[in-house]
Chain A
Amino acid sequence: MAAVAHEAHGHHDDHGHHEEHFVSKYIFSQDHKMIGKQFLMTAVFMGLIAMLLSILFRIQLAWPGESSDFLSFFLGETWAPGGVLKEDMYLGLVTIHGTIMVFFLLTGGLSGTFSNLLIPLQLGARDMASGFLNMLSYWFFFLSSVLMVVSLFVESGPAMAGWTVYPPLSALPQAVSGSGMGMTLWLFSMAIFIASSLIGSLNYITTVLNLRTKGMSMTRMPLTIWAFFITAIIGVLSFPVLLSAALLLIMDRMAGTSFYLSDIIVGGEMLTQHGGSPILFQHLFWFLGHPEVYIVLLPSLGITSEIIATNSRKPIFGYRAMIGSILAIAFLSFIVWAHHMFVTGMNPFLGSVFVFTTLLIAIPSAVKVFNYLTTLWKGSIVYTPAMMFSIGLVSTFITGGVTGIILADAALDISVHDTYFVVAHFHVVMGLSAVFGMMAGVYHWFPKMYGRMMNVRLGYVHFWITLVGAYGVFFPMHFVGIAGAPRRYYDYSVYNDFDVESFNVMMDLNVIITVFAIIAALGQLIFLFNFFYSIYRGPKAVQNPWRSTTLEWTTPVEHFHGNWPGELPTVHRWPYDLSKPGSEEDFIPQTVPLMEGEEEH
């Protein structure tokens, strides 16, 4: 209703200089650009918390049992008595770090920010298909973020069963203190988050299918939009499964059902639940969980495709192959989930099938990498900070991707499953790649979001500290894993009892990792400073600072609801006419009609 009223209102005003009310402009805004910025701000804040949590537990891992002022400053006497982290809280920190990073920063933050900002702008639409649902999506996200943060402060601690919250551990408060109130908040937060994500995704899909401007055929869409579009489809198909998994878990916890519980004695109490299966939860969880990896990764790959093409001043190599590989990855992502479960007791034959499907994903991934490389080849590279982060992404995508081959191979997974090798692998391929893509996006579209420029020099410093720090953290971690260190261990000194050689490897490397983690975290403060300073004090941006071809740079720098002051632009060509022979400029915007005798790509 409100949406309709607003529409009518907007038309009536007919692009006049109507002053919007503060609340409708900044808080309950239905403008996709403002909602994108709201997602970004919330995600930056959540990311900061998750990063701080990781530093807290890294300190414990590098210097186990040593008193730390830093820990007691943040955790106080309850969770770090005498400055030494409590075992339970260690698990809580690990769990919430993972949850926030995967869902709140890299799903909500990445898709929420850039799908909202770019889908209407790059397609030539005045706004999303439903501005009201879009607003609702953000406020659900906000509410779930608040719940997740609040769960850190409850008396019995936050959820402590790992970000995958496998029952029975997550279902039984007797098993670990965090499975009480903390877990309840986790489940409700995630249920609301999923609602937010679904509303958002449906809106993105509808907008892409229906609101493309004249001439914007599907094969003239920038790869960013293709990535966001497919990501939204994956989300719509997989998130409901996580919701059902969460609901069944809520019922097991609160209504005495036995979906996931069977034959359990915990805390001296013999439970009557019988016939459920914890493996069922794992199937449901990873049916979302694996597509989730691509929900996180594809937007970053899309953003990078755009930035690498623009700043190499070259068309993206193999546009159609890039679309094809996005589609292939999206399809395959739904039939690989059980590679997370090779050693859960699942039938080994089933495992073989998943080995096969999982390794197939390497093919479209390889195509993407080689296409990026060929795009750089004989380019004329301009090093904006966004470009540097994009190159960083290609590097981490390779480095993390190749180790996936080992984990996908069931026989090898037996020896490295649930070790630090896994932690290293997914942090590099999913965490770093997605974060680098997100950073690239922020630097690239900052002028579009805030009408000002970020400082380039600080951007460089931020990039180099991040790249060195990130590899410094996660490369040695592979070797901790190969040495056999199980993940989610509070203290690796236990190795000292039986294998001194392994113990030495682990302790050496853990110190190195923590030092790099602290450096990388401090590097992010430079970004934060640059970001907030530039919002208010950065130099004013020009309309098309990166000399790009896509539609968002044809809108005026000043924002208003509706994007284009006059008619919507008409599209005449694909988005990658960069350095095209026969053209004077080294870029031809999509709005320029084909010249006489010019062939469209």
Chain B
Amino acid sequence: MVTKLIILLVIVLGVVAIAQMMRVYELSSKITKKNEHEISNRDNRLNAKLMLTFMIVFFVSVVYLILHYGWVGRGTAASVHGRDIDWLMNLNLIIIFAVFFLTNALLYIFAFKYVKKPGVPALYYPHNNKLEMLWTVVPAMVLAVIIILGLKTWNEATDEASAESIRIELFSKQFDWTARYAGKDNVLGKFDYKLTLDNNELALKTTATIDSAIRMMEEGPMGIKTLEAKLNDRNIILVPEERAKMEADLSRKERLIRLLYQMKQKHDTKDDASAWDDFIQKDTLYLCKGKEVEFNFRSKDVIHSAFFPHFRAQMNTVPGLTTRFKFTPDVSTAEMREIKGDDKFNYVLLCNKICGGAHYKMKMMVVVLEEDDYNNWVKGKMTKTFRDTYFPVMEEVATPEAPAEEVAEGGEEQENV
């Protein structure tokens, strides 16, 4: 409290001090009969010199920043197209720094040199078509080069992935990432957000998951039957708001269940296999050095953005839409640690689209393995496919009832809105 008072006091006294200085200044200008709109030669020259000084200080600091921080932060690119982007970036930086230094220098030097000198009139020089043509055509030509090179790199970076590239889905939600690898067949199984349950977080679409979603929606703890029973039970007295909320919930679920039944009818059981062999990976994303990888991006709630700063890769994840990006990592984590001289370094996947309070913490570590290590890791994961985790006790109890119970338990949290 005392500090706040002192701060206030200092501010007030500061304002009073400036006001007094102004008065003194005004009185002195009255004595010298100086008017505020007549800028003295002394002031003009002072500011002209300051313009030049500022330019020098500014340029020196810019050069210092370039040398000290320029290319340090992100290091060399760790992907094939990333190096093309870096090359193009450097070329562009050279061009724009040349323009920056040249035009700013002209500006501040003119500002210094052509300050008013008593008796020297300004030159009446309203236009010159040749000059104007010159600075229309030259920038246009430089831009043509920039555009052509830029589009070439852009087209390569956004081209279709090759058939043998590794397929991975990155699933985003507030505030973490989940990866799904395409498994043995290298085909990602289909999904539908309405199938989301605790034991099927990525909402993969198979005959069994559709059935259990329907069962949950109808008979789960907050399912349609329970809601109807509660709403129709005369022994339960509900607060009007509570009732309205439950009715809204019920009508929402009735709409969803119709869609689920439609899905069940249209579902092709042949699609099941491509989903069952997928495997899901959290916390760390493993990639294979030298192998192209194609990411499919999904979002559960709001827009996120998958940003791999070290691979120069970025793509938004949009709810209701699958987006894609492909790249080939070609520097393994171990190699990059050596290059950086930092044995704790890791590649990372960050969220780069504002997505809520903990946006800044939404990340996933990325590890690039040598091909053999990667294959070994995949082999290990093949024993924990989606089918294995979905039917954990399949070997012993081969009844379709097993997953249903599992769902009923887990579903409680899910549906407790």
B65 on the A face (CB < 8 A): yes
Specify which chain A residues have a CB less than 8 angstroms from the CB of B359 in the assembled complex: 91, 488-490
CB distance from A399 to the nearest CB of B (A): 6
B9 on the A face (CB < 8 A): no
Task: Judge whether B360 and A169 touch: CB under 8 Å.
Answer: no
Task: Judge whether A414 and B312 touch: CB under 8 Å.
Answer: yes
0/1 interface trace, chain A 476-487, chain B, CB 8 Å (1 if under): 100110111010
Q: Which of A348, A376, A475, A486 contacts B65 (CB 8 A)?
A: A475
0/1 interface trace, chain B 20-60, chain A, CB 8 Å (1 if under): 00100110010000011101000110011011001000100
Contact A279 B126, CB 8 Å, known A172-B302, A498-B348: no
A: number of interface residues (CB 8 Å): 145
CB distance from B366 to the nearest CB of A (A): 9
Give Cα distance in the complex from A53 to B363, angstroms: 28
Task: Judge whether A359 and B147 touch: CB under 8 Å.
Answer: yes
Interface hits, A458-474 → B, CB 8 Å = 458, 460, 464, 467-468, 471
Task: Judge whether B356 and A377 touch: CB under 8 Å.
Answer: no
Task: Judge whether B125 and A378 touch: CB under 8 Å.
Answer: yes
A457 on the B face (CB < 8 A): yes
A557 on the B face (CB < 8 A): no
Specify which chain A residues have a CB less than 8 angstroms from the CB of B114 in the assembled complex: 312, 376-381
Task: Judge whether A501 and B340 touch: CB under 8 Å.
Answer: yes
Specify which chain B residues have a CB less than 8 angstroms from the CB of A502 in the assembled complex: 73-74, 309
Give Cα distance in the complex from A161 to B193, angstroms: 24
CB distance from B142 to the nearest CB of A (A): 9
Interface hits, A161-187 → B, CB 8 Å = 161-162, 166, 168-169, 172, 175-177
Task: Judge whether A489 and B194 touch: CB under 8 Å.
Answer: no
Task: Judge whether B123 and A348 touch: CB under 8 Å.
Answer: no
B332 on the A face (CB < 8 A): no
Specify which chain B residues have a CB less than 8 angstroms from the CB of A8 in the assembled complex: none
Task: Judge whether B39 and A374 touch: CB under 8 Å.
Answer: no
A524 on the B face (CB < 8 A): no
Q: Which of A317, A321, A383 contacts B44 (CB 8 A)?
A: A383
Specify which chain B residues have a CB less than 8 angstroms from the CB of A279 in the assembled complex: 318, 321
Specify which chain A residues have a CB less than 8 angstroms from the CB of B82 in the assembled complex: 415
B236 on the A face (CB < 8 A): no
Contact A414 B345, CB 8 Å, known A277-B321, A348-B155: no
Q: Which single residue of chain B is at the shortest CB-CB distance from A512? A: B65
Contact A376 B110, CB 8 Å, known A419-B352, A455-B22, A533-B22: yes
A288 on the B face (CB < 8 A): no
B150 on the A face (CB < 8 A): yes
A236 on the B face (CB < 8 A): no
B12 on the A face (CB < 8 A): no
Stretch from B129-137, B275-283, B372-380 at the A interface: B129-137
B99 on the A face (CB < 8 A): yes
Task: Judge whether A351 and B196 touch: CB under 8 Å.
Answer: no
Contact A363 B139, CB 8 Å, known A411-B157, A455-B22, A475-B62: yes
Task: Judge whether A414 and B318 touch: CB under 8 Å.
Answer: no
Specify which chain A residues have a CB less than 8 angstroms from the CB of B320 in the assembled complex: 261-264, 274-278
**Contacts A464-B50, A501-B342, A545-B37 given; 16 further ones with Cβ under 8 A?**
A175-B174, A262-B320, A272-B255, A312-B122, A314-B122, A318-B127, A344-B323, A367-B132, A367-B136, A373-B106, A395-B104, A410-B150, A415-B314, A453-B37, A505-B72, A586-B122
8 nearest CB pairs, A to B:
A483-B73, A262-B320, A545-B37, A345-B323, A484-B309, A348-B158, A453-B36, A411-B153
Residues of A within 8 A of B (CB): 69, 73, 86-88, 91, 160-162, 166, 168-169, 172, 175-177, 261-272, 274-279, 312-321, 343-345, 348, 351-352, 355-356, 359-360, 362-363, 366-367, 369-374, 376-384, 388, 391, 394-395, 398-399, 402-403, 405-406, 409-412, 414-415, 417-419, 447, 453-458, 460, 464, 467-468, 471, 475-476, 479-480, 482-484, 486, 488-492, 494, 497-502, 505-506, 508-509, 526, 529, 533, 537-539, 541-542, 545-546, 576, 578-581, 586, 601
